[in-house]
């Protein structure tokens, strides 16, 4: 058997296995800037209203980069002062394109959540989502061993698979959250005194939609997520510790992601005139087990936050990546202003 026939067999095997090899969800290093990607119960969990945009450019040093774009919006409804809870809803979209074949994944979901007020400080929430997944690949962009004529590679020759393959599938999931916040309810907090935490669990792809370009019946594994974060202000200072973690498991793949940022309060909102906008600076790093160290910087001003991070890859792929993983950018807007100190406001957190 010739070398090129063997290569054809290998390529065919890879494509048949693609349903499993590529059936892992996207993830962002700044996961706290895309809360509905972690858990549908995060809709309305931390902020009354939140809008996010995320962009990631990964593995440019290896070859054709993987580009991921996402945006989301969620808000609370019917939040009455003496209410025992409130509803929230949100929408989330993402588009991912990978490699020379322009292998694409798209998703659009609608999330609905309810948050029960246990007391002034604690809320327990549950949420569900429903939406559609889309997968697409352009086989004509790939090069095949059968296009080698014995001397040169001739793109005009018939390849292994031609054309474009795509499919759409319905998808559902759910999750739960617990939130503690000493800056909510009837508590007035001035200065750098906030203390808040959130913890959640989510499950995605409960229907395990079929996920194969070649009709092999391969199904997308369910994804289980555990996540948490918080803000611990250091008394009598402008500093706060902002820890966070994310764990997910999907089929044979799993990720453990943990780290800490430090927040420095540049300025606090004016309590009296409202003319002065609050600002803060976050910096720190996260560790993704067996994969990367992620350096992060976030600038927050009034209701806006801009984040930038870079994955420094140290896994086995670093032979090709030379430690260069991916650049990630994020933009967030929340309302009311996270630096407000008025009754019922929510201080900034990640």
Tell the residue number behind the tokens 């929510």, with chain if given.
346
Question: What is the structure's pLDDT at 320?
Answer: 46
Which one has a higher pLDDT value, 348 or 161? 161
pLDDT for position 268: 75
Averaged over 38-51, what is the pLDDT?
94
**pLDDT for residue 174 is more than 90:** yes
Please write the tens of the pLDDT for every residue from 64-105: 567 889 999 999 987 666 578 999 999 999 887 765 556 678
Share of the chain above pLDDT 90, in %: 43
Q: Quote the pLDDT of residue 142.
A: 63
Mean pLDDT of 134-163: 61
Q: 56 with 71: CB under 8 angstroms?
A: no
pLDDT band at 27 (very low <50, low <70, confident <90, very high): confident
Q: Do the beta carbons of residue 34 and residue 70 sit within 8 Å?
A: yes
Q: Which two tokens stand for residue 99?
A: 């490699």
Is the peptide bond preceding residue 336 cis, with omega within 30 degrees of 0?
yes
C-alpha distance from residue 168 to each of 97, 131, 250 (Å): 16, 10, 20
Single out the residue of 26, 17, 166 nearest to residue 95, CA to CA: 26
- Alpha carbons 207 and 128: distance in angstroms, whole number: 13
Task: Report the range of poorest mean pLDDT among 104-118, 125-139, 147-161.
Answer: 147-161
The beta strands (E) that lie in the chain are given as 49-58, 66-77, 85-98, 103-117, 122-138, 164-181, 195-204, 223-233, 239-250, 253-267, 279-288, 292-301, 304-313, 324-335
What domains sit in the chain, N to C, each tagged with a CATH number? 3-156+166-335 (2.40.160.40)
The pLDDT of residue 225 is above 80: yes
For residues 93 and 34, give the distance between their C-alpha atoms in angstroms, rounded to a whole number. 10
Question: What pLDDT is stored for residue 307 in this prediction?
Answer: 96
pTM over 0.85: no
């Amino acid at each position: 058997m010739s070398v090129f026939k063997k290569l054809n067999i290998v390529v065919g095997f890879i494509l048949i296995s693609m349903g499993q090899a590529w059936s892992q969800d996207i993830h962002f290093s700044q996961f706290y800037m895309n809360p509905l990607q972690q858990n549908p119960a995060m809709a309305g969990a931390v902020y009354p209203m939140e809008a996010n945009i995320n962009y990631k450019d990964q593995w440019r040093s290896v070859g054709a980069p993987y580009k991921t774009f996402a945006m989301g919006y969620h808000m609370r409804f019917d939040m009455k002062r003496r209410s025992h809870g409130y509803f929230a809803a949100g929408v989330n979209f993402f588009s991912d394109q990978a490699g020379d074949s322009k292998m694409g994944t798209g998703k659009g979901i609608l999330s609905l959540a309810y948050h029960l007020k246990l007391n002034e400080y604690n809320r327990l929430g549950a949420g569900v989502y429903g939406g559609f997944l889309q997968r697409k690949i352009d086989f004509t962009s790939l090069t095949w061993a059968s296009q080698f004529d014995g001397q040169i590679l001739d793109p005009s020759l018939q390849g292994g698979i031609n054309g474009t393959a795509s499919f759409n599938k319905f998808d559902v999931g759910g999750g739960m959250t617990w939130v503690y916040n000493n800056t909510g309810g009837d508590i007035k907090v001035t200065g750098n005194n906030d203390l808040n935490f959130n913890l959640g669990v989510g499950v995605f792809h409960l229907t395990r939609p079929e996920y194969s370009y070649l009709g092999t019946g391969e199904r997308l594994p369910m994804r289980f997520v555990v996540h948490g974060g918080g803000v611990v202000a250091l008394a009598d200072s402008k500093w706060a510790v902002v820890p966070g973690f994310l764990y997910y498991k999907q089929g044979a793949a799993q990720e453990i992601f943990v780290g800490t940022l430090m927040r420095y309060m540049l300025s606090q909102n004016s309590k009296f005139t409202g003319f002065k906008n609050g600002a803060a600076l976050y910096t720190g790093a996260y560790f993704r087990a067996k994969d990367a160290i992620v350096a992060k910087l976030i600038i927050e001003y009034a209701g806006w936050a801009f984040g930038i991070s870079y994955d420094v890859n140290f896994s086995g792929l670093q032979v090709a990546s030379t430690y260069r993983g991916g650049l990630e950018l994020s933009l967030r807007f929340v309302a009311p202003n996270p630096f407000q100190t008025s009754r019922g406001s929510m201080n900034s957190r990640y």
